[in-house]
Amino acid sequence: MEQRFQINSSKDLRKLFDIREKNLKEFMNEAIESEFDLLEFNLFISSLGKKNLDSATKKVRELRKKIDKKEIDLLEYEDILDDY
């Protein structure tokens, strides 16, 4: 909240500086909290992507092993893609 007052002395000027410093610190704290919230959200979203990537990598490795052993047809890849 903006306060208005007249500067008549060095004490008034000091008071003005103190108010501005307090307001700046509050603004910076809010900005830092917002950035940490965004970072936390970003990490959460990234972890979901990593889980899906790990799962897909595992399925592809399993399919490659089965293909090498002639246990499966390449059409099985289509089923995996449908999961994603």
Question: What is the per-residue pLDDT across 25-77, written as a single tens digit (0 to 9) for each?
Answer: 999 999 898 898 888 888 887 887 887 878 888 887 887 888 788 777 667 66
Sign of CA dihedral 71, 77, 83, 84: positive
Output the pTM of the full model.
Answer: 0.47
For 14, half-sphere exposure in the C-beta direction (CA atoms, 13 angstrom radius) is 3
Which pLDDT belongs to residue 67? 78
- What are phi and psi for residue 72, nearest 5 degrees? -145, 155
Please state, in angstroms and rounded to a whole number, the distance separating the CA atoms of residues 5 and 71. 84
CB 46 within 8 Å of CB 40: no
CB 72 within 8 Å of CB 63: yes
Question: What is the per-residue pLDDT across 1-27, written as a single tens digit (0 to 9) for each?
Answer: 556 768 888 898 899 899 999 999 999
Which pLDDT belongs to residue 37? 87
Which pLDDT belongs to residue 23? 94
